[in-house]
Amino acid sequence: MTDIDFAVLGTGGIGRRTLEVSQHKDGLTPVAACDRNGIAADRDGLDIDELLDATEGNIASGPQSGPEQSSSAERSSADSRAAKPRDDGDQPRDGDGRGDTEGPDAATDGGVAADATGSAADAAASDGVKQTGEGAGVVASEQGEPTETPIDDVIAVSDAVDAVLIALPNLEHDFIPRIADRFADAGYSGVLIDVLKRSRVIGMLDERADQLEDTGITFVCGAGATPGFLTGAAALAAQSFVEVHEVDIWWGVGLKSGYEDNRGTVREDIAHLDGYDVETARGLSDAEIEEIIDAHDGVLEFHDMEHADDVLLERAGICDAEDVTVGGILDVRSDEKPTTTTVSVTGTTFDGERATNTFELGDETSMAANVNGPALGYLRAAVRRNRAGEYGVFGPAELMPGF
């Protein structure tokens, strides 16, 4: 298999770790990365060490207005940068590459919040963070360029990109599907891969399958840890059985770096707590989220989460979505996992025996290792399929042995 050049949308926690992990994988070259303020692109490959050093503790995030509030001139500029013009009349731009389109701190999945005066960037610089440009995030890198239209800028160089990993929070259910629209409308042919969580998004992507196939896009949805790594583990564990009765996914994550460096991840998870949903989670201020964390002594426990493992296992023919349960424990004050991550698949064998196969992750493996390693693995698998002419929407279980 030839080398793969890829881009990353979003340089918060997940995006940064993806770039870092890729340095340890042969044949993977990051050629573009963007956040809400800027883009870095080099067809020969980015200097990842410099980019990570420049943005350490200085990730572009913070309150923002949605793209529908941008001026018509900005939208016209965005259109002119795309690889192929859009014909969407006066419709607002859907997704501007800055993360979620509304709500406090919805822009990325980590970093220092920037206020209107740019004080976050100043604070980061005063703390000794290397900066070679003005502002927060990618533009602080000597490779970075400021932009109002980061996704369109990535699309503009997409002829040199085999795959695009979307590392953005999905607090608007249709946000990731709208990004897929942007690439398809621009005529991109290649791989799109995301680490989304919520079940209902899969149907939105399926509705776009014909368009993606026509364009030559192979889209792998839910390719992180859960869904993703653990979905694939369940697909493997199911191979012992002729009928699967239930799948139970139970995860443990320790994030000593806390909410400040994992904003999108924690905010999305809070939406699963009793009394909260996506809409209320989007509207919470930083202070309110910190209060929730304090009220739980830093340890949040989740049950019956709307993670897409259920519909992804169903579409792979392994079991009904209602037979899948997902839960876990998040400790934002310790790097130690509060519980061991397991996948248990219960079924009946061809000779009538009922049994449970259990897959367990080592407690020493971090969230970064279990999200970004599999994401890059699924990216490789998707590129192979794309180069073989297989286009459309795929889940992680569909890239495993068939059931």
Q: Name the residue among 107, 104, 87 with its Cα closest to residue 96.
A: 107
C-alpha span between 58 and 104 (Å, rounded): 17
Distances in whole angstroms, Cα of residue 21 to Cα of each of 18, 127, 156, 255: 5, 26, 25, 18
List, in order, residues 6 or more apart from 199 with CB less than 8 Å away. Answer: 306, 307, 308, 310, 311, 321
Give catalytic status of residue 256 as yes or no.
no
Burial of 96 (0-12, 13-18, 19+ CB in 10 A): buried
Catalytic residue among 197, 307, 314, 337: 197
Q: What is the layout of strands, in order, in the sheet containing 342-348?
A: 299-302, 324-331, 243-254, 342-348, 354-360
Q: Which of 268, 314, 337, 398 is catalytic?
A: 268
Contact 330, 266 (CB under 8 A): yes
User: For residue 154, which phi and psi values (nearest 5 degrees)?
Assistant: -70, -40
Residue of 272, 307, 314, 398 with catalytic role: 272
Q: What is the spatial distance between Cα 37 and Cα 203, in angstroms, rounded to a whole number? A: 31
Q: Please state, in angstroms and rounded to a whole number, the distance separating the CA atoms of residues 62 and 316.
A: 38
Token look-up 């800027």 returns 38
Q: Catalytic positions, please?
A: 197, 268, 272
